[in-house]
Chain A
């Protein structure tokens, strides 16, 4: 079963960003946002009936700020590998938070992945309904949950 994902993801993302990354974001109404993002991380929950993919896209500026807050360093000290590692950790926590709320032990959390968004990867994100969020009124990121039966 897939929950009404938008409110659940809003709650999960807010809790994680506030608790471990010291950032508060504002969510926009769901829609086909036209924000351009720089990095994408993804995690899957799997069971035999299908899988749930949770994808998170962030601007480089916001990802850098989150990484700096998480590691307790200045933004100009953030290396690309730290930034990508933090994005994996963030989507890992989001997947775990969603999993906890599904409350179905049959789902298994996968290993998170991250990549820099290129011309081909933006295509998929634009095709889905997205949960966009901003940080101090600037577009910061977007989350997508997809259920893939079978």
Chain B
């Protein structure tokens, strides 16, 4: 089974890096969708089924807090795990994200294997997420 993933980040480079890490980790990707802020992401979620959302916090137009709050208020993808990948260090803001239903957060900088362990925990060992691909020895 493959999974539709949405990456929300205003950095095009960071979006590319996250896709690359997901592939290295052996994540079975279905549709790969991108948004550069929370509002764009909400527009995508209105018409698509998404299995996993990986989002930044500090973004122009609509930040990560506004994004997850709007998801909850509009009842969109309530069961979809939302993981924040962020430089945010403000504990209050991170707690706010968790209170709004985020599945967790990964602080940058991070190693691919840290992200793999985190995703395993959140997604579980399913067909779509097998840690079969070793990050060690890869060209990452």
Residues of A within 8 A of B (CB): 15-16, 19-20, 67, 70-72, 81-82, 85-86, 88-89, 92-93, 95-97, 99-100, 102-103, 105, 107-111
CB-CB < 8 A to A19: which residues of B?
109-111
Pairs across A and B, CB under 8 Å, 13 listed: A16-B109, A67-B13, A70-B13, A71-B20, A72-B139, A82-B12, A82-B13, A95-B87, A96-B108, A99-B90, A103-B89, A109-B58, A109-B90
Q: Give the distance in Å from the alpha carbon of A86 to the alpha carbon of B140 in the complex.
A: 16
Are B13 and A89 neighbours in the complex by a CB distance under 8 Å? yes
- Number of chain B residues whose Cβ lies closer than 8 Å to a Cβ of chain A: 26
Please give, as numbers and ranges, the residues of chain B lying within 8 Å of A105 by CB-CB distance: 90-93
Residues of B within 8 A of A95 (CB): 87
Contact pick for B11, options A15, A85, A102, A107, CB 8 Å: A85
The smallest C-beta distance from A88 to any residue of chain B, in angstroms, reads 6
Give B12-44 as 1s and 0s: 1 = Cβ < 8 Å from A's Cβ atoms. Answer: 111011001000000000000000000000000
B124 interfacial by beta-carbon distance below 8 Å: no
Asked if A71 contacts B110 (CB within 8 A), the reply is: no
- The A/B interface has a contact count, at CB < 8 Å, of 73
Q: Who on chain B is nearest to A107 by CB?
A: B90
Candidates B13, B59, B87; contact of A96 at CB < 8 Å: B87
Contact A111 B13 (CB under 8 A): no
Is the Cβ of B91 less than 8 Å from the Cβ of A72?
no
Report the bound CA distance from A20 to B107 in whole Å.
Answer: 12
Q: Which of B56-100 contact A (CB under 8 A)?
A: 58-60, 86-93
The answer to whether A71 and B16 touch across the interface, beta carbons within 8 angstroms, is yes
CB distance from B49 to the nearest CB of A (A): 29
Query: Are A85 and B13 touching (Cβ within 8 A)?
Result: yes
Contact partner of B90 (CB less than 8 A), chosen from A72, A88, A108, is A108
Q: Is the CB of A109 within 8 A of B88?
A: yes
A72 lies within 8 A of B109 (CB): no
Q: Which of A72, A97, A103, A110 contacts B140 (CB 8 A)?
A: A72
Contact (Cβ within 8 A) B90 A93: no
Interchain CA distance A110-B16 in the complex, whole Å:
22
A108 to B88, CA, bound (A): 9
Specify which chain A residues have a CB less than 8 angstroms from the CB of B107 in the assembled complex: 96, 100
Q: Chain A residues near B90 (CB, 8 Å)?
A: 99, 105, 107-109
Do B60 and A111 touch (CB < 8 A)? yes
Chain A neighbourhood of B110, CB < 8 A:
19-20
The residue among A71, A86, A89, A105 with the most chain B CB atoms within 10 A of its own CB is A89
Known: A19-B110, A96-B86. 8 other contacts (CB 8 A): A19-B109, A20-B110, A67-B13, A97-B89, A100-B89, A109-B89, A109-B90, A111-B58
